[in-house]
Amino acid sequence: MTVKHLPEPDFCRRLLDGDELAFRELFDRFHGKIYQFAFNFLKNKEQSEEIVQHTFLNFWLNRSKLDPDRPIAPYLFTIARRTLTDAWRKAAASSRFREYIQQRTELVTNETEERILSDDLANITRDALDKLSEQQHQVFTLSRQEGLSYEEIAERLHISKHTVKYHLINALKIIKAHFHKHDIIFFLLLLFR
């Protein structure tokens, strides 16, 4: 009977008894997941492999703490998390690592903030454009996104230059009011340049 087909309590008892075949099955089942867990934090192949080795070594040395009535995976990932934390503490002692972490944190924070702000601004802009009539939306798009002049817009839409101006002014008022409602001033400077 292979270990992989045993219920988890039986599998756990085999590990408690020091069954190396059971340990090999455990390693085969979880080493990839533990590696990915470590790699998500470290972004380093060699260090992540070391975390996997230390995790399974610690598991084997402390297998007497296993509870057959509890799942093995959370216990294994707790060991991995502690091993990872210990590795970070040791590495944090070096000034080079502290510099790396600071730069990485600033980069991730800036990228995250920019992405959130960009997404929010895109949603607010979409909402503002949805408030425009079809004619206002066309005129605004041709003016601000395609950069066409009043004359070019008038020619394309078969309306007068004055009608283009009228629709653009009204569209800008609606958009400005919507952005003002959301306290967006910077974007307005770009929009009305």
Q: List pLDDT tens digits, range 113-172.
A: 666 666 776 777 788 788 889 998 888 888 877 888 889 999 999 999 999 899 888 888
Find the mean pLDDT for residues 32-37.
93
Boundaries of every domain in the chain:
3-93, 97-191
Q: Which CATH class is domain 3-93?
A: mainly alpha
Alpha carbon 55 to its chain centroid, in Å, reads: 26
Q: Specify the pTM.
A: 0.46
Q: Please give the CATH number for the structural domain made up of 97-191.
A: 1.10.10.10
Backbone angles phi, psi at 71, to 5 degrees: -70, 150
Res. 110: pLDDT tops 70: no
Alpha carbon 175 to its chain centroid, in Å, reads: 31
Predicted confidence at residue 6, as pLDDT, reads: 44
